[in-house]
Structure formats: C-alpha cells, structure tokens
Amino acid sequence: MINSEKLNNTVPDNAILLKLKSIVKSFWYAGNNVECLCCGWKGRKFLELNGRENVQCPRCFSLERQRLTWSYLQKKTDILTNKHAVLHFAAIGPEKIIGDRLKKIKNLSYLSVDISNKQAMEKMDITNIKYPDGFFDVIICVHVLEHVADDKLALKELYRVLQPGGWAIIMAPLDKTLIQTIQDISLTDPLEQKRKFGLEGHIRLYGIDYKNILELSGFKVKIENYAAEFTPEQVKKYSLDISDDIYICTKHQSKG
C-alpha cells in the first residue's frame, strides 16, 4: 500500500519506485466507476487515504481539492488562454499534477516554489517572496497557510507580489463549525498537531473567519462553491468533496 500520509505532504525521492507502485495500483484498480479530472485516469475506485475510502488518484496522486481546483482553473478562469505570470506554492505531492499541467500551457510563465522541497523550481519562504511588487498575475496557494507561523505576513506578501487586477486561489483546510480560527504556532509534536489541527505539520485550523483573514491583507474575496455545480453522479465519479469551496482573491486595480 502506498504511504498516503507521506504522499500527502511530500514528493518521495524514489520516483521510480513510486511510478512502479502507481502502475501496479492502476492495474489493481482497473475499472470505469471513477475518473480523475487532473490526469484522466479511470478506475474502479480511488485509493484510500488516512482511513477515507476513494480519495487519491493512483496515477497522479491528486486528492479531491486538486481535482476540483484543476477543473475550476480550466472551466472558470482564463488560465488556458491568456498570458499570465503564475506563482504556484508547494506544487508537490498531490498538488504536483496541477503544476505539471500548468507548465505545459504555452501562454503561461510558470514558477513553482517551496520552502524546502527540491522538486519546486525555486526555494522560497512565503513570508519573504523574492520578487518585486505586482510581479505575478496569478497565484495558486492551496493548503499552505496552515503550516506557516505568520500567516498574516504570508498573505501580505502574496498581496504585494500580485499584479493589481490579478487573482489568486488561496485555500486552506477549514472547519466550518469553528467561528474563530484556532492555532498554536509553538506546537512541534506531530501527533499533537494532528490531534489538534487535523494533520501533522499543521499549526492552525481555520474557522469561518478565514475569509476575513484573507481580506485583512487587502484582497477582495469571493467564495465559490464550485463543487455544487456538479451533479451527485459527477461528484461520485470524480470523487469531489462538496464542502470544498474555492477562495478567489483579487487585488483591486487602483491599489498598489
């Protein structure tokens, strides 16, 4: 069984072994019940992850949020057709497939960054982005902020490097029953992080104030319940999470 926890957070160094496992899994899961919106794989079901059935694509390792995000990018934005400088944070693990797809789009100037993972094109701290103001037209930052001690500073930096008129998808795990975000940035014990915030490496869990937190840095935020546009049959077929919202953050034209 593929170590899904590891896949969820890092790209394993042994890419050949991983590829081999992926091929075996693809055969094992042969069928036509489900289809991956990221890579087109079809099978009997997706892989189990953290005790949840039917979650991860055995070919590209996408999870529900990547399949939803990639579909959104294709159907609801101009990323396939317009010229954009794109900054993509932590395009590793399950997020890598989105980076791989974006890299192939000729009208895009694409840059993937990560604070430590070598598979990203550049090493970069989200709280200290080494690019000038307004350098990027599009930013994709999915499930990163919950790892960052100073998330307010990270958002300030994202806002700064986004071109006025540009847009960003900034998503994080959130608990809709929490009125206020909870965090403990001093917490280092992985098991405690998982117990309190849902996964190892997480130092906070956002609540319904997440939109306000994004807006504090200057973004105009629109919450798109894009998953609701799929029929129940499609949600099942593509294994989407209907509670996943897409947070579209825009920078006003007149602001610097």
- Determine phi and psi for 61, rounding to 5 degrees: 70, 10
Q: Does 36 bind Zn ion (CB under 5 A)?
A: yes
Nearest to 94, CA basis, from 74, 77, 70, 121: 70
Residue closer to Zn ion by CB (options 38, 171) is 38
Q: Does 46 bind Zn ion (CB under 5 A)?
A: no
Residue closer to Zn ion by CB (options 41, 136) is 41
Q: Does 60 bind Zn ion (CB under 5 A)?
A: yes
What is d(CA 81, CA 152) in angstroms, rounded to the nearest whole number?
32
What is d(CA 111, CA 64) in angstroms, rounded to the nearest whole number?
23
Mapped onto helix, strand or coil, the DSSP state of residue 244 is coil
Q: Does 57 bind Zn ion (CB under 5 A)?
A: yes
Copy the structure tokens of residue 30: 């042969």
Nearest to 70, CA basis, from 30, 108, 43, 97: 97
Residue closer to Zn ion by CB (options 57, 169) is 57
Q: Does 59 bind Zn ion (CB under 5 A)?
A: yes
Binding residue (CB under 5 A) for Zn ion from 29, 41, 167, 210: 41
Under 8 Å between Cβ of 111 and 86: yes
Q: Does 98 bind Zn ion (CB under 5 A)?
A: no
Q: Does 2 bind Zn ion (CB under 5 A)?
A: no
Residue closer to Zn ion by CB (options 44, 222) is 44
* Residues in contact with Zn ion by the rule CB under 5 A: 36, 38-39, 41, 57, 59-60, 62
